[in-house]
């Protein structure tokens, strides 16, 4: 392997929007994320809308008229 071309790995602290904080190693020191494994619907088994700019409401309104 060549020297001085690989990034430095540091201890990183990751903060989720739900309040979960965990430590890992990464090239970035601190990260803020929107969804983690504790609050993601796939892992929790609960349905949760992650809505961006009202997309879910527009979808529901559009297809409610079709019924």
Does some domain include residue 47? yes
Which structural domain, as residue segments, surrounds residue 38?
Answer: 10-66
The count of domains in the chain is 1
Whether 17 is in a domain gets the answer yes
What integer pLDDT is reported at residue 12 of this predicted model? 92
Does residue 5 lie within any of the structural domains? Answer: no
| CATH number of the domain encompassing residue 34 | 4.10.80.400
Helix H or strand E encompassing 24 = strand 21-26
pLDDT at residue 17, as a whole number: 83
Q: What is the pLDDT of residues 10-53, one digit of tens each?
A: 899 989 888 889 899 999 888 888 888 777 666 555 655 565 66
pLDDT value for 54:
72
Q: pTM of this prediction?
A: 0.51
Query: Is residue 25 in some structural domain?
Result: yes
Distance CA 30, CA 13 (A): 5
- Cβ-contact 20, 34 below 8 angstroms: no
Residue 21: per-residue pLDDT: 92
pLDDT score at 11: 93
- Asked if residue 33 belongs to a domain, the reply is yes
């Amino acid at each position: 392997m060549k020297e001085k071309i690989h990034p430095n790995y540091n201890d990183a602290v990751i903060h989720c929007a739900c309040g979960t904080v965990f430590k890992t190693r990464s090239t970035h020191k601190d990260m803020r994320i929107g969804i983690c494994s504790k609050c993601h619907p796939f892992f929790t088994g609960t349905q949760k809308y992650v809505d961006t700019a009202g997309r879910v409401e527009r979808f529901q309104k559009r297809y409610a008229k079709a019924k």
